[in-house]
Amino acid sequence: MSRPKPSQPDATVLTGAHYLDGDEACAEGAIAAGCRFFAGYPITPSTEIAERIASRFPLVGGTFIQMEDELASMAAILGGAWGGAKAMTVTSGPGFSLMMENIGLGIMTETPCVVVNVQRGGPSTGLPTLTGQQDMMQARWGSHGDYEVIALSPSSPQECFDLTITAFGLSERYRLPVLFMMDECVGHMTEKVVIPPAEDIPVIERRWYRGPKESYLPYQAGPDKVPDMVRAGDDYRIHITGLTHDERGYPVINAACQSVCVSRLVDKIRDNAGDIVITDEEAVDGADVVVVSYGISYRVATRAIALARAEGIKVGSVRLVTVWPFPEARIAELSRKVKALVMPEINLGQMYRELQRAAAGNCRTLLIPHCGGWVHDPNDVLAAIREGAK
């Protein structure tokens, strides 16, 4: 683990090449993105992020607090965001479950922040130290009510750095808690991470309201359906509630207001999906089979793809960098061109349901399930690719 040298003038962005694990890289990404408030509760395999933040924040002017539980951590970062800070919390499955209600409060109040889930095997306490990708649907639907989310899934320590910055950017741009869905393998895998110079890091600032104070309405949105924000303490006298509310932020408990309020929360993501969705594609043109994967499963898939190509199978890859919103238009398009879409994931079929839905029977869809605890054997993925190419 590299630490800033004592005499270094700016400890904020540790420009240079490092040997970091995914958890440490995520912490550095948060710092580089401007995160200066962190609240969390320890849980394997995410604890190293909190530890890194606890040791680094005093050097970069951030405030770290270890809360009494994950309910508190999630509530605290929402408060932190309204106080005017970029805020983050990190956890794993059991803590993610505890955060759900307040993730919903963050969605409803349109509060920018980043929630990291370094996934382990579940359900319940499950496999504290071993990997899983079993919270993907919880990320999408875990809090009650209708809403859309943005979730990302890094597949290397370098991406833990880069995409944490992207996650903060998206949270500020679209004003919602962005879910950063790591997994134990990526979190604990150590690789080279290159941190660019500060001026090359794309940091997106808050959408501060710029109009006259008298005419500010907290939930009045422009054409992109995202309202501008103010922070507590600037005498705007805002009211922010988890109840269904109008543009003033005032509770209005009826179906008409619910329709306006909830539709906008959903539409601001759906309408802007083209700007949000990130996929990483390789050799999909002319492919008979496309492997759709994310997180650590992508790393395993690349090995299987290489083996399949050695056998002469035309196989491409689509990696979901953002897992939510699901790139359904792209998958639908591909489903009309290929024989099969193959998905390895460390669960018994979660994102696979989306894959099936988007493919709509146009091609075969093959799931390579795994209960968690370890990654797939590349040969299992290879077998599915062979099957799909038939």
Partner 1 sequence: MSELLTTPAPGGPVVEEERHPHEPFLRMDRIPHIWCSTCGLGTVLNCYITAIQRSSVPRADHTIVSGIGCTGRAAGYVKIDSFHTTHGRALPFATGLKLANPRLKVTVFSGDGDLVAIGGNHLIHAARRNMDMTVICVNNFNYAMTGGQFGPTTPEGAKLTTAPYGSYEHPFNIPFLVDSCGATYVARWTSLHVREMIETLVEALNHRGFSFVEVISPCPTVYARRNRLGTGLDLLKYYHDSAEVRHGADTRDVDISFKGRIIVGRFVQRCKPTYLDTMDAALGRSVGKEFVCYEGPMQASDGRS
C-alpha dist (Å) from residue 143 to 2, 103, 115, 140, 238: 37, 7, 13, 8, 25
Residue number, 234 or 311, with CB nearest to partner 1: 234
Give me the least distance between CB of 95 and partner 1, in Å please: 14
Residue number, 230 or 301, with CB nearest to partner 1: 230
Residue number, 71 or 278, with CB nearest to partner 1: 71
Residues near partner 1 (CB under 8 A):
4, 6, 11, 34, 36-37, 39, 58-63, 65, 67-69, 71-73, 75-87, 101-102, 105, 205-206, 208-210, 230-243, 248, 250-251
Give me the least distance between CB of 207 and partner 1, in Å please: 9
Residue number, 91 or 347, with CB nearest to partner 1: 91
Helix (H, G, I), strand (E, B) or coil at 69: coil
In angstroms, the CA 144 to CA 14 distance is: 40
Give me the least distance between CB of 310 and partner 1, in Å please: 52
Question: What is the DSSP annotation of 98-145?
Answer: HHHHHHHHHHHHT--EEEEEEEEE-STT-EEEEE--TTHHHHHH-SSS
* Phi-psi region at 44: left, alpha or beta (left = phi > 0; alpha = psi -120 to 50): beta
Residue number, 80 or 295, with CB nearest to partner 1: 80
Question: What is the DSSP annotation of 335-382?
Answer: HTT-SEEEEE-SSSSSHHHHHHHHHTTSSEEEEE---SSSPPPHHHHH
Let me know: does 362 contact 347? Beta carbons within 8 Å: no
Give me the least distance between CB of 346 and partner 1, in Å please: 31
Q: What length does the chain have?
A: 390
Give me the least distance between CB of 115 and partner 1, in Å please: 13
Residue number, 222 or 312, with CB nearest to partner 1: 222
Helix (H, G, I), strand (E, B) or coil at 89: strand
Phi, psi of 387 (to 5 degrees): -60, -45
In angstroms, the CA 289 to CA 232 distance is: 53
Residue number, 232 or 371, with CB nearest to partner 1: 232
Sheet containing strand 340-344, strands side by side: 279-282, 315-320, 289-293, 340-344, 364-368
- 45: cis peptide before it, omega within 30°? yes
By CB atoms closer than 10 A (0-12, 13-18, 19+), residue 174 is buried
Residue number, 247 or 267, with CB nearest to partner 1: 247
